[in-house]
Amino acid sequence: MFAVVGTVPDEDFPIVAGPVSAAGDRLFIDGREIEINRGTAALLAAAVMVSHYMGKDGPEAFLVGDTGYGRGSRRLYGYLEKTLPARRYTSLTFHYIQPDVDWHNRVLFAVDRMPERPLLIADAGFMYAAKMSGQAEAYDAFTPDMGELAFLADESAPHPFYTRGFILHENNRAARLIERAYRHKNAARYLLVKGEKDIAADRSGILETVTEPRTDALEAIGGTGDIITGLLAGLTGVGQDLLPSVMAAIRISRMAGKAANPNPGTQVAGIIQKIPDCLKQFYGNGHLKGSP
């Protein structure tokens, strides 16, 4: 069993926790429907598709409504602090949430009290809080895009909004940014850098760069990064090892992007629909389908 933590853009959406299923363009959790488009819903849809393909249980989700005021996020942090110590997951993925260092640390303490420590994956707002808290090394994977990688590399920036110009100018020099992020202890065990080139890296540097298939329009489409993180959540959640999961997530997401034949105006739901076929194609081509 694995879990995903995130938000949906609706202030009236209460805290819900439980198994997630998907059908058509909808997610279902605790008697509620959520439109699959961008954000945590897109991440969850990809994770559900992976677990379905692998014949394993789907994710559990911890969700709350928040449109940026942070009220829902703070309630969810508090809920996690209370409930996580009794849970058991293979992987736990944190996503869109209002970054808050104090609450982040309380949740991380709660993770420490879980019966078994899950693989910890962080993206979006929770990754920002993890970096700012100085606890990045407690995580197994971060999934930044290039702008967020520059933020991880800037030891003084508390949010990507404050990344210093001389570091932003390193935009096309991923290796230098990755080295700098690790040097300042602001990176997880693995980095999956999402972009025109997808990069897997660890403390030793770039492990692999994937450039094919190339679909330039994906950079503009909101939610494509959520798909990659969702694939990673799903693959690690069903028990695959972390680094092979990072590489598979990169390749399957690029395949789905290509299959959707998008332009920069395409919505991410059109790409998510391609994931099941791409899973079949990827694992049908000799990649190990898998159990741990």
Site string for other proteins, 10-29 (x = CB under 8 A): --------------------
Does position 109 interact with other proteins (CB under 8 A)? The reply is no
- Cα separation, 26 vs 252, in Å, equals 21
84 contact partners, CB below 8 Å, separation of at least 6: 107, 110, 111, 113, 114
Binding to other proteins, residues 225-244 (CB under 8 A):
225
Our separate counts of H helices and E strands in the chain read 11, 11
- Cα separation, 236 vs 47, in Å, equals 10
Applying CB under 8 A, among 1, 15, 168, 207 the residue interacting with other proteins is 168
Q: Which stretch binds other proteins (CB under 8 A): 24-32, 166-174, 242-250, 275-283?
A: 166-174
Structure tokens at 183: 């040097």
Site string for other proteins, 34-53 (x = CB under 8 A): ---xxxxx------------
Q: How far is CA 148 from CA 95, 96, 110, in A?
A: 14, 14, 26
Size of the site for other proteins (CB under 8 A): 61
Sheet holding 119-122, edge to edge: 32-35, 26-29, 16-23, 60-65, 3-8, 91-94, 119-122, 141-142, 190-193, 198-202, 205-210
Does position 77 interact with other proteins (CB under 8 A)? The reply is no
Nearer to other proteins by Cβ, of 97 and 279: the residue is 97
Nearer to other proteins by Cβ, of 73 and 240: the residue is 73
Does position 247 interact with other proteins (CB under 8 A)? The reply is no
Does position 211 interact with other proteins (CB under 8 A)? The reply is no
Does position 126 interact with other proteins (CB under 8 A)? The reply is yes
Query: CB 223 → other proteins: shortest distance, Å?
Result: 7
- Cα separation, 206 vs 115, in Å, equals 33
Query: CB 221 → other proteins: shortest distance, Å?
Result: 5
Binding to other proteins, residues 140-159 (CB under 8 A):
145, 147-148, 151, 156-159
Structure tokens at 243: 């680094």
Nearer to other proteins by Cβ, of 52 and 131: the residue is 131
Does position 112 interact with other proteins (CB under 8 A)? The reply is no
Per residue, the 3-state secondary structure of 203-261, as one string, reads: CCEEEEEECCCCCHHHHHCCCHHHHHHHHHHHHHHCCCCHHHHHHHHHHHHHHHHHHCC
Residues of this chain that bind other proteins (CB under 8 A):
7-9, 37-41, 66-70, 72-73, 96-102, 104, 123-129, 132, 145, 147-148, 151, 156-163, 165, 168-169, 171, 216-217, 219-225, 263-267
